Structure 1
Amino acid sequence: MTVADSPARPAESDGAAGPGPKPILDGTRGLPQQIGVYVFVMVPLLALVAAIPLAVGWGLLGWSDVVIGLVFYVVSGLGITVGYHRYFTHGSFKANRPLRIGLAVAGSLAMQGPVIDWVADHRRHHAFSDKEGDPHSPWLHGSGPLGLAKGFWHSHMGWLFDRDQTNEERFTPDLLADTDIRRVDALFGLWSVLTLLVPAGLGALVTWSWQGALTALFWAGLVRVGLLHHVTWSINSICHMWGDRPFAARDRSANVWPLAIASFGESWHNLHHADPTCARHGVKRGQVDISARVIRTFEKLGWATAVRWPTERRLQRIAREA
């Protein structure tokens, strides 16, 4: 039975995991891996910082950069939200083999880590959300101003520099058993190179110039990756500190509407933590959830099946009393 045909893993994905036969952590990163984390985090961040003066002061932003960047933002962003998160982490639907592989590759283009690493960290987050063991809770550093500032930094990006590694054998045995996903995971370096060089190549073809290649590399490559990084990380930080909490979750997860479009619906985070395997996070009227619409399209095409759509009965059960 393949991963696509197997049931979801609720013990890890919905926060029910507790002490088990395998430890939570599995050693620490080696020096080369740690250097890689710093490069993957800091280089796109520096590009974001330089983006405004380059665009305004020097005018180094063309329409081709915007279009290519938008396309890659959508593809890699949905690779994270639909693929890494709702499918691989939580089993919100079943996918056929081409879709499964495609989602793993698309998520890898976001440069947020190999698929198995990402899923292991996120399942661990749900298993211990906002408690000891959560890799990126903002609430484990005190409730005073200094503690909250430290918690925000840690939850947003500080946790990425921790050298502890989540135990994949405990949290992702299903992905470790999937040959296709292990191959995609092992080729993360290749996907990271392609996510920068392909936009550069497209920029060169559109403008027929080296300048077009370089500006596309910068805007559609580095700046796009940096922007998506911080939108994704804002779900860990902002959406666990501020916002509305209409549903009963076991943690401080909240809905933050200004992030809904940029995060493709991930910022309806309170519902997600109240019902982790649900394929739609924005369940109330007016809550735009682009990821859910994409999953619906996959379902209509026959690529996705057994989609876990919300039901009125379930929503009533997890809704907070007025």
Structure 2
Amino acid sequence: MSTAVDEESGTPQRGPKSLLEGRRPIPAHFTVYLFVILPFLALLAAVPFAWGWGLSWVDVGLAVFFYVVTCLGTTVGYHRYFTHGSFKAKRPLRVALAVAGSMAVQGPVRHWVADHRRHHAFADKEGDPHSPWLFGTSPVALARGFWHAHLGWILDRSLTNQRRFAPDLIEDKDIRIVHRLFGPLTIVTLVLPAVLGGLITWSWFGALTAFFWAGLVRITLLHHVTWSVNSVCHMIGERPFAARDKATNFWPLAILSMGEAWHNLHHADPTQARHGVRRGEIDISARTIWLFERFGWAYDVRWPTEARLAKIRA
């Protein structure tokens, strides 16, 4: 049985009901820092690097393509499908979503799902792994909470108990394989843009710039968009639906997050396949699920109904 540690007392806990299941090994934790810091440094270098040279339309096209694929792998795959069961997927789609989500470099699928299910179980309360409200409401406490929700929690070595929060994925043979392949898929998501950039431009320089823009910069942009849903979308925005926590809608993030920034509705009714339900609320992830349904790859989709929405309107 896995060992966990109580967050307050530091005493060991055992059993499937504990929140944690030990700590991330030091080599794995080092890679977390690596893939937080290196892409961020690439983003800081982006403006001087692009000033007059080093950015082509090939780089832009590849960056947009890989951003969309890996973002949807996170939003449609990791989040709406694996975490919340907003729809059912046939096996090829299920595996493809797990692979695309892994290529976003936000952690192996079982870790991500366990963390997010724990987030919903304890939203904005003790036990939530990334609430910005855990330290109080003073300016200093909110600044500390924002840092914790946006990035600080990722740098914690503690691992959420998968046996408690993701037992279905532990039993899924396909997902066990994809989970173990997170390392190789991380290499693929960095190397493949460089290979394509080199082949399209037929130059080593094209490979280098594609690696920079469609690899490093794309990953860090997606990281901070996703992390902003954890931080900004629990602090700033509208609350048109009655959620039991502080989740909000923050429209400036709607496009880049593929609809995840309509976060208030999601927390009010987490299993819905569509989060942006009011007029003008663009939800690219929901439209993608709709396309999967039309092609017959997804079924039993949990679309919101007017009767259901009426019950949760604030």
| Band of TM-score, shorter chain | over 0.9
CA distance in 2, matches of 1:195, 1:29: 23
SS in 1 for 2:21: strand
Does residue 231 of structure 2 align to residue 237 of structure 1? yes
TM-score, normalised with respect to structure 2:
0.94
Q: 2:70 aligns with which of 52, 71, 76?
A: 76
Residue 39 of structure 1 corresponds to which residue in structure 2? Answer: 34
CA deviation profile, 1:206-256 (whole Å, cap 9, x unmatched): 111100000000000000000000000000000000000000001000000
Residue 277 of structure 2 corresponds to which residue in structure 1? Answer: 283
Does residue 262 of structure 2 align to residue 268 of structure 1? yes
Residue 315 of structure 1 corresponds to which residue in structure 2? Answer: 309
Does residue 169 of structure 2 align to residue 162 of structure 1? no
Does residue 177 of structure 2 align to residue 172 of structure 1? no
CA distance in 2, matches of 1:309, 1:55: 43
Runs of 4+ in 1 over 2 A off after TM superposition: none
TM-score, normalised with respect to structure 1:
0.92
Residue 5 of structure 1 corresponds to which residue in structure 2? Answer: none
Deviation of residue 30 (structure 1)? 1.7
Does residue 144 of structure 2 align to residue 146 of structure 1? no
Q: 2:245 aligns with which of 227, 238, 251?
A: 251
* Unmatched segments (≥5 aa) in structure 1: 1-19
Deviation of residue 85 (structure 1)? 0.2
CA distance in 2, matches of 1:40, 1:176: 25
Aligned residues: 300
The answer (yes or no) to whether the contact 2:84–2:271 under 8 Å persists in 1 is yes
SS in 1 for 2:153: helix
CA distance in 1, matches of 2:16, 2:58: 53
CA distance in 2, matches of 1:118, 1:298: 23
Deviation of residue 59 (structure 1)? 1.8
The answer (yes or no) to whether the contact 2:16–2:163 under 8 Å persists in 1 is no
CA distance in 2, matches of 1:129, 1:212: 45
CA distance in 2, matches of 1:72, 1:251: 33
Q: 1:23 aligns with which of 15, 18, 24?
A: 18
Whichever residue aligns with residue 178 of structure 1, its letter is D
Deviation of residue 21 (structure 1)? 5.0
Deviation of residue 143 (structure 1)? 0.7
Aligned Cα root-mean-square deviation (Å): 0.8
CA distance in 1, matches of 2:35, 2:171: 27
Residue 205 of structure 2 corresponds to which residue in structure 1? Answer: 211
Structure with the bigger RCO (C-alpha within 8 Å, sep 6+) is 1
Whichever residue aligns with residue 48 of structure 2, its letter is P
The answer (yes or no) to whether the contact 2:84–2:270 under 8 Å persists in 1 is yes
Deviation of residue 34 (structure 1)? 1.2
Whichever residue aligns with residue 212 of structure 2, its letter is F
